Every structure is written in structure tokens, then in C-alpha cells.
A = this chain, B = another copy of it.
Amino acid sequence: MPIDLDHILERAQEAFLFFKNVQPKEKSAFIRQIAKQIDAIRTELIPVASKESNLPEGRITGELGRTLGQIGLFANLVEEGSWVEATIDLPDPSRQPAPKPDVRRMITPLGPVAVFGASNFPLAFSTAGGDTLSALAAGCPVIYKAHPAHPETSKLVAGAIKKAIEVSALPEGIFQHVEGGIEMGQNLVNHPLLRAVAFTGSHQGGKSLFDLANKREHPIPVYAEMGSVNPVFTFPQKLGKNLEALAKSFVGSLTMGVGQFCTNPGLIFVHKDQEKEFSDAVKAELEDIAAAPMLHEGIAQSYYDSLQYLQTRNELDWVKVAKPKHLINGSAALAKIKIKDWLKDDHFQKEVFGAFALMVVYHNNDELLEVAHKLQGQLTCTIWAEDDELKDQLFLINLLEEKCGRLLFKGVPTGVEVGYAMQHGGPYPSTTDSRGTSVGAYAIKRFARPIAFQDMPESLLPDALRDDNPLGIWRLVDGKYTQ
């Protein structure tokens, strides 16, 4: 049976007109109910997700924990309630030359949202992932397009969300699960009732949805997280003191989950003097990493195609070449390149999705500044330097801030914390909208827009804007924060 998108969007719109007015307590209880229902099917869900994604059950178990924790964060956020940016300018009837009106502002949900999940996180960035949950938390119904790489996992999770809707006695149109190909996805994005799109995946996929959405009669925002190479800048003192440990850290982050993370570091800058020692250490670590199955054959094929092309480039000096036993297995790879060659061709900034990194050998800071100028937008940049060395890198830091959403000074970019302060999203082309994050509390803001009520009778005001502040939220009243 062909999918009737009109019917789906009309149901979503009808549900929206109800859902947007649901009280914070009821909405947060519904969100917690989603976590409860997913947790209730975990013994069934984990093996299915593991089988469909080729990711070990241990990893899926961890991801499930992350997913449930993330749902809890949004439930807390909604329950606390201050995220709506309630702002009140009190009236002054005696103001001259004209009375000052009563103006009250808050942010309000955009409307039905289409979510396109990721293959590499069958739970945390998929059916009940951060995009879906932040949209629901904002008060937007979600039309979730199942990822073809894990259809059964998606159905199971969708079933749990539907159960939560039923238990919470909310309209069914709040969450709808659709399956289909690229054309259906395009029709979904083009539907006049849709109000926003969230996507995690390839540059090609995200950019094409962004272009479609902008060409609509009524353009809508597209939050596409499309990955990046996440450069690591190493400095001699720091690297010299911790060479083995940092090589291990780097390889761990590069190869975790067969390198299938948006934030894995595919680019590392190493000083000429440490080139040999560090690449030897990395190589030794890489030898210990067994090739493991990638998410699906298409991804493995792309990985090897990218490497095959790179092997034709004379600028690269291969430290470790990928040698898969079976094509589905991702085998880690590393190549070195001189900085002057790297600077010449933007192709070397292109993400190779998988456990491949390019080690760029530099001689001086001026070269790194040139890199920072030329660098495309990144989800993350990482600086490994001693405090003493950082003092000389203030200008580099100033430049790198312009090129990323998250700047790290310790550790590795993978393992994105789910919290209030996280920013997962950066300048184009890492995302289509650097103003949003797809991880952490602020993800909710992507699905809301401001509305002001002028001289609205108290009895009609949303609770967030009433004089007596019945929700007890933080508000900006005549320019002062109060609770």
C-alpha cells in the first residue's frame, strides 16, 4: 500500500494543535513513559539492534543506556520548564506620549517535524534518539522515517513510543513511523504541513534535504548533522611527554565502533620532529585493532572506495593500509601527508566514514594558522598542548573557535556527553545550521519559535506567562531574571 503522506501530515497537524497545549508535567510524564516502554523491551531490542547494525551487544547495551539517559534529560528539562524563555514587559498605562502595552513572549513549538535517523546509532540517533525526543519535548509531533539499515529495531522502538502515547492518552498523531525510500523522504520534506527537518547522516543526504526544504513554497529549517574530520592539533611538549598514551587514545577514538562516529578524529597534525616516533606508536596500536564488520556493505564499500582513491594520490605515505578479509569488515588505515600538500587540495578535508586518519606533518605555527584559515566547518577540534604551549596558541584557538562547535583540550572528540552544555553541531559543512545542536538540552530550541502576546487577558495566558508564575519557572521580567 503506498504511504498516504497527506493523511499522515494531517494527523500530525491535528495532534499538534492539541499537543502544543499539553501541560509541562503531563508532557514530561509522557517522555518518561517512552523511556519506560523502551526499557521494557530491552531483552528483545538489544539482539535485534545488534544483528541489524553489526555492532556488538555490549555497545548496543551502552547505547541503550545513553538513549534512556537522554530521554530523561528532556523529561527533566520539560518538567523544569524554563526552556521556553518566558519574558514579560509589564504595561505602563500612564506612559507618555502613549500607554505602554503588556507584552509577553515565549517560545512555542514549530509544528510537525520529520526526523531522519542515523545508521551508526540505531538507538541514540534513531527512532527514539535525540532529534525525535527534543522535537517531542518542544511539543512538535514527529514523523520518523525508519532507517533502512535497521528496520526491525526501528519498528520495535516505534512500538514502544506508540505504547507510551496510548498509556498517556495522547493523540496517536504525535508520533508516526514511516518506511520508504529516498523519494518518500523527499515527498515528506516537501509536504506543506511539515515545519522542520532533523537529519543525521551523509553530506549528500543532508544537503539534498536542505536544498529541497529551501525550495518549498514555504521554506522550513533543516537541521542536518553531516559529520566532519574532527582535527586534532598536537604540540611537541605535550606529545613528547605522553606519546604512548596519546597514540593509544587517538587510535581508540579513531577506531571505536569501527570508526563509524561523526566525531572520530580523521585528521591529526604532528610536528616533523615527532613524525616517526608518533606514527610508529600509532601503527603499533593499530596493529592490535582487529578488523570488524561495518554497519552494512554499502558503508564498507564507500570506505574502501575512498581509500582506493586516496591510494592513487602520490602525496600520501601509507603507514598502515587497510586489508579486509571480507568486504564488510572495516580495517583501520593511516597515511601521512606533508602539510604543504594537504593545504593544496580540499579533498584531503573530506571525511572518510570509517577508521581512517590522515596524519599531517607540520614544521611551524604559521603553517597551523594557515590550516585554521583553510579548515572547513567541524563538529569538533581538539588541541593537545601543555599549558605553556597554549600560551603561544591564542591566535590559533581564536581561529579554531570559528571553525567548530566544540573545542577540546583534553581527551578525544568521540563519546559526546549528553548534558546541558553540550554542543554537537558546527559551521557548515559539518551541519546545515550552526545555530543548533543535536545532542544535549539545547537541542529542544531547534523546534521552537518565539511568539509575543500583547495585552492578552490573564485568563487566556499560557501558564508560563501568567502573573503568578504557576510553573515556578525562571523568567525575564522587565529585564530582570526572577523565579
List the interface of chain A (C-beta within 8 A of B): 17, 21, 76, 80, 82, 85, 87-89, 98, 100-101, 103-105, 108, 110-111, 210-211, 214, 218-219, 221, 377, 387, 390, 394, 397-399, 401-402, 404-411, 415, 417, 419-423, 425, 427-429, 432-435, 437, 441-442, 448-457, 459-460, 474, 476, 478-479, 481, 483
Contact = CB atoms under 8 A, between A and B. Distances in A.
A435 B455 contact: no
Contact of A101 (B410, B432, B454): B410
A379 to B, nearest CB: 10
Nearest to A387: B457
Given A21-B398, A474-B481, A481-B481, A218 B429 contact: yes
Contacts of A394: 460
A4 B399 CA distance: 24
Copies of the polypeptide in the assembly: 2
A342 to B, nearest CB: 20
A480 to B, nearest CB: 9
B401 A103 contact: no
Contacts of A457: 387, 390, 409
A219 B420 CA distance: 27
Nearest to A218: B428
A405 B454 contact: no
Given A387-B459, A421-B89, A422-B103, A111 B402 contact: yes
Given A17-B398, A104-B421, A422-B103, A460 B219 contact: no
A433 B213 CA distance: 13
A415 B98 contact: yes
A397 B460 contact: yes
A482 B390 CA distance: 30
A83 B413 CA distance: 27
A417 B99 CA distance: 11
A150 B208 CA distance: 41
Which has the most chain B C-beta neighbours within 10 Å: A17, A219, A377? A219
A382 to B, nearest CB: 8
Nearest to A410: B455
Contacts of A89: 417, 419-422
Given A402-B111, A408-B455, A481-B481, A460 B420 contact: no
Nearest to A18: B398
Contacts of A211: 214
Contacts of A453: 406-407, 409
A105 B422 contact: yes
A201 to B, nearest CB: 18
Given A89-B419, A89-B421, A423-B451, A219 B432 contact: yes
Contact of A455 (B409, B415, B422, B429): B409
A30 B436 CA distance: 29
7 contacts: A87-B421, A89-B421, A101-B410, A405-B449, A407-B451, A407-B453, A435-B449
A457 B385 CA distance: 11
Among A98, A387, A420, A425, chain B packs the most CB atoms within 10 A around the CB of: A420
A481 B483 contact: yes
